Amino acid sequence: MAETTTLRADRPRVAPARTAAARTAAARAAMGRSVLLHTVMVIGALAMFFPFYWTLVTSLSPGAGLSSTPSLVPANPSLDAYVQLFQQVPFARVVGNSMLLAVITTLVQLLTSATAAYAFSRLPFPGRTVVFGVYLATMMIPLQVLVVPLFAELKAFGLVDTYLGALLPTFAAAFGIFLLRQAMNQVPVELDEAAALDGAGHFRIFWTVILPNIRPALATLAVFAFMGSWNSFLWPLVVLRSPELQTLPVALAGLQGQFTTQWDIVMAGSVISILPMLAIYLFAQKYVIQGVANAGLK
Amino acid sequence: MTALVGDVAAEVGGKLPRSVIGVAPEHPRPRRSARAKRRYALTVLAFMLPSAIPLVLFVLGPMVAAAWISLTEWNLLSPAKWVGLDNYATLLTDPETAHVFLHTVYYIVGYLPLVYIGGLAIAIALNTALRGRTLLRGVYFLPVITSWIVVALVWRWLLNPSNGVVNTVLGFFGIAGPGWWSDPAWAMPSIILASAWKDLGFVMVILLAGLQAIDPGLVDAARVDGAGWWRRLFSITLPLLSPATFFVIVISLINGFQVFDQVYAMTGGGPGGATQVVVQQIYDLTFRYGKAGEASALSWLLFIVILAVTVVQIRGQRKWVNYG
């Protein structure tokens, strides 16, 4: 509707050719299309949202999945599943593990990505382009290719079934380096030069000039690093063997493996695992979406 | 490998900033004392090592090690025994290898059109004057931030053959829903459905960013020339969207060949091996059957396939990707 109006305003040449009646008919048709489009998009959004709603409802329905047929509102809503979850498995410990690993991964990845990005953006050295190419190529190596040798390596270091073993392979990621380097290249070199004239060395320029100027990119990377760690499955599954060291996704997959799946408990765990990501997402939605969009455009 | 690295490096090289403090790579470097040079080298090392050490120790090193392990017979416990190319010979003659690759390709062939056409439709709709655009964009993006395990568990429950929501709703319309993940014929479509639902928002955002970069004047001009909606889509929008499309396809193929989490949680490769994909096979070979050598060989085969497919796409992009 709005589109048609602007079009007519932009191109008055077209308008005189139409009679008033034709114009009303066209406006009505555009209106109809707009209503239809809105309806379809809202139905689609409901379909996207429904599984989340359903997760919540199931987690509040005691004994769900054994003989019950689905209903849109829980018959006897209760937090029983949440209580059982914390009684049956060391769930508080599991949530704590995931949080600990995600926070450390995020902090270390910010550090390793920012320093490398600074070198690739500001410190020319022989072979820099080739090294950067190799860094980028590591993005293409599937983790699955590395699982066996990584497992053997960490076993040799005595780090299987330790937090450190789960953490070490997440410490550097090419994606973050690429993202931050892109942002640093947008920072005018004149700023560095001014600081250099004032006697600042590279560490000072990095810390006081570059980092404050790329805050949005740092926030984007922080969200992605946290999300990657929080949701990661294969490596924690392989390296963390004791139940008390498990992370959320692994524990959730394990809950399902029991003889009769208690879906209310599984869904209670799912709700808990979604909540922190949801909070971070609502807080940083702009950065997350922008980060994805940038990844596609560059 | 080198070809790809070369391509990437060439592209990257072109974008490096011309002037860099103190040293401009294109100009003769200022003469510096040996001490200043050593100091500069130490600075470079200080900035590079925090990322270089983990990447060498936990990515590049294991990559090379996987090649060596693939030439041995090893169960992760007793010492590895050198067997040369036996593992590759075993894999290439075992019909199971063809099966797991076929299942993976089946996944990609089902998933890619679904997620691309769906993502495109939503992106186009969200690119028009629409009330509540930001909220809608947020809702469509929500599954992207959720873990594969949660998505897989929720969909396994929704698609529960006896009393799942989907079959209950189908029953309401008088349709007897299939045994989704319990029927070999429907297990892979179930996984595809759940995966497409999760990734739709990701594809939508990439395409939306591409759409917003298109000059609206071009579309208006075509409209004035009498081009209908479909004609404008195929002659203007899609060609101008080709870089975003290219990115989506490259990423989806790389990820598609590595599909694992959702398979592990939804079917574990079953029923009857109907959804046994390459990575599930690598996992089973290593941790269920103690055949780490064979698993590493399969990992390398997978990597070679991904690399080949990606290189073919990068080579082929000049034919259809339009960088305006």
Residue type, A225: A
C-alpha to C-alpha distance for A88 and A110, rounded to whole angstroms: 36
Inspect the interface and report whether the beta carbons of B244 and A274 lie closer than 8 Å.
no
Select from A270, A268, A271, A274 the least CA-distant residue to A84: A268
Question: CB neighbours (10 Å) of residue B210?
Answer: 25
| Mutation for B interface: A56, A132, A140, A144, most B CBs within 10 A | A144
Determine the pLDDT at residue A166. 93
Closest CA of chain A from B51, distance in Å: 5
The answer to whether B100 faces chain A, any CB pair under 8 Å, is no
Inspect the interface and report whether the beta carbons of B279 and A227 lie closer than 8 Å.
no
| Mutation for A interface: B72, B116, B153, B281, most A CBs within 10 A | B153
Determine the pLDDT at residue B19. 35
Residues of chain A falling short of pLDDT 50: 1-15, 259
Determine the pLDDT at residue B242. 87
- Cβ(A113)–Cβ(A177) under 8 Å? yes
Inspect the interface and report whether the beta carbons of A129 and B16 lie closer than 8 Å.
yes
Inspect the interface and report whether the beta carbons of A115 and B51 lie closer than 8 Å.
yes
The token pair at A256 is: 């399902």
Question: CB neighbours (10 Å) of residue A251?
Answer: 23
Tell me the chain A residues in contact with residue B163 when contact means C-beta distances shorter than 8 Å.
65, 67-70
Inspect the interface and report whether the beta carbons of B208 and A293 lie closer than 8 Å.
yes
Select from A278, A259, A242, A277 the least CA-distant residue to A94: A242
Tell me the chain A residues in contact with residue B194 when contact means C-beta distances shorter than 8 Å.
none
CA distances B321 to B82, B153, B247, B313, Å, are 46, 38, 10, 10
Inspect the interface and report whether the beta carbons of A70 and B149 lie closer than 8 Å.
no
Closest residue, chain B, to A123 (C-alpha) = B44
Select from A245, A234, A242, A228 the least CA-distant residue to A280: A228
Inspect the interface and report whether the beta carbons of A51 and B261 lie closer than 8 Å.
no
- Cβ(A232)–Cβ(A249) under 8 Å? yes
Residues 6+ apart with CB under 8 A from B198: B143, B144, B146, B148, B151, B262
Determine the pLDDT at residue B176. 80
| Mutation for A interface: B16, B27, B47, most A CBs within 10 A | B47
| Mutation for B interface: A73, A258, A289, most B CBs within 10 A | A289
- Cβ(B230)–Cβ(B149) under 8 Å? no
Within 76-105 of A, beta carbons closer than 8 Å to B belong to none
Select from A267, A251, A117, A236 the least CA-distant residue to B165: A267
Question: CB neighbours (10 Å) of residue B247?
Answer: 20
Select from B260, B73, B193, B175 the least CA-distant residue to A238: B260
Tell me the chain A residues in contact with residue B137 when contact means C-beta distances shorter than 8 Å.
289
Closest residue, chain A, to B308 (C-alpha) = A140
Within 232-291 of B, beta carbons closer than 8 Å to A belong to 243-244, 247-248, 254, 257-258, 260-261, 264-265, 279, 282-283, 286-287
Residue appearing with tokens 């949680």: B265
ipTM above 0.85, yes or no: no
- Cβ(B302)–Cβ(A145) under 8 Å? yes
CA distances B28 to A68, B13, B37, B313, B317, Å, are 78, 18, 15, 39, 37
Closest residue, chain A, to B255 (C-alpha) = A142
Residues 6+ apart with CB under 8 A from B170: B176, B177
C-alpha to C-alpha distance for A211 and B199, rounded to whole angstroms: 32
Tell me the chain B residues in contact with residue A193 when contact means C-beta distances shorter than 8 Å.
21
Give the angle subtended at the CA of A293 by the CAs of A287 and A298, to the nearest 5°: 120
Within 158-217 of A, beta carbons closer than 8 Å to B belong to 168-169, 171-172, 174, 177, 185, 189, 192-193, 196, 201-203, 205-206
Determine the pLDDT at residue B88. 94
CA B35 centroid distance within chain: 47
Determine the pLDDT at residue A58. 83
Closest CA of chain B from A146, distance in Å: 6
CA atoms within 13 A on the CB side of A213: 18
Give the angle subtended at the CA of A216 by the CAs of A110 and B200, to the nearest 5°: 90
> In this structure, what DSSP letter does residue B58 have?
I
Determine the pLDDT at residue A16. 52
| Mutation for A interface: B146, B162, B259, most A CBs within 10 A | B146
Inspect the interface and report whether the beta carbons of B58 and A171 lie closer than 8 Å.
yes
Determine the pLDDT at residue A222. 92
Partner residue opposite A140 with nearest CB, options B209, B223, B310 = B310
Determine the pLDDT at residue B268. 82
DSSP chain A: -HHHHHHHHH-TTTGGGS-HHHHHHHHHHHHHHHHHHHHHHHHHHHHHHHHHHHHHHHHTSTTTTSSPPP-SS-SS--SHHHHHHHHHS-HHHHHHHHHHHHHHHHHHHHHHHHHHHHHHHH---TTHHHHHHHHHHGGGS-HHHHHHHHHHHHHHTT-TTSHHHHHGGGS--HHHHHHHHHHHHHS-HHHHHHHHHTT--HHHHIIIIIHHHTHHHHHHHHHHHHHHHHH--HHHHHH--SGGG--HHHHHHHHHTSSS--HHHHHHHHHHHHHHHHHHHHHHHHHHHHHHHHHHH-
The answer to whether A239 faces chain B, any CB pair under 8 Å, is no
**Alpha helices, DSSP H, located in chain B:** 2-15, 34-55, 61-69, 86-93, 95-126, 133-145, 148-158, 165-172, 184-212, 216-224, 229-232, 238-240, 242-257, 261-266, 278-287, 292-320
The token pair at A251 is: 């524990």
Q: How many CB pairs under 8 A join A and B?
A: 309
Residues of chain B falling short of pLDDT 50: 1-28
Closest residue, chain B, to A66 (C-alpha) = B163
